[in-house]
Amino acid sequence: MKKFLLIVLSMTILVVPSFADGKINRTLKDKVGIGFNTTYYRVPALACRYWLTDAVGVEGFTGFSIRKRYNTYIVGLKLLRIIKSYKSLNLLASTTLELHEAENSRAPYTRFNFLAGVGIEWFVLDNLSLSTEIGFKFETGSANVTNFSTDVNTITIPVVNVKFYL
C-alpha cells in the first residue's frame, strides 16, 4: 500500500506545474463536450467533459466491448487543467482514475488504473475538438497485477479523441 501511495503522489506531482497562471484564449467555462475516447485497453468509451472554469475541467467516461471470448467494461473520471492556451489549441495536464473489469475464458479480473500526463486539445471548429494525451500509468488489481508504465492513450500508437461542445 505504501508503494501505491508513493507512486500516486509522484504522478500527481507531475501535474502540479500546470497550476501556474496562464492566459486562457478560449472561453470554456460551463461548456459541455460529448464524444468518444479510446481507453488504454482499446475499449471505445462515451465521454462527457464539463469545464468548471476556463482552465479546469472534469470528464467522465464509460465503455464496453462484448466479444465471443472476451468481454470488458471500463468506467473512469478525469481531471483536466489547461497549462497553456493558444488561439485554437490547448496544452493540458490530466489525472485519470479508471476501473476496468474483464470477463474472459481464462479468468475474470478487475483492475484500477491511475494515469497522469499531458495532452493537447485542438479546436478544429468552434465547437469540435480533437485531443490526445501521453503520460504515466499505474495499474493494480486482481491476480496480483501491479504495473507502472508509460501511456500513449493506447498500447501502440496515440489515438485521437473527439468532442462536440454543446
CATH classification of the domain holding 95: 2.40.160.20
pLDDT tens for residues 9-68? 555 555 544 444 455 566 888 899 999 887 666 778 899 999 999 899 999 999 988 877
List of residues 6+ apart from 123 with CB closer than 8 A:
26, 88, 89, 90, 129
Report the C-alpha gap between 15 and 82 in whole angstroms.
11
pLDDT tens for residues 79-115? 999 998 888 899 999 998 988 887 776 767 788 888 8
Instruction: Please say whether the beta carbons of 151 and 18 come within 8 A.
Output: no
Domain, as residue range, for 85: 2-165
Total domains present in the chain: 1
Beta bridge partners, 154, equal 152
* Global pTM value: 0.77
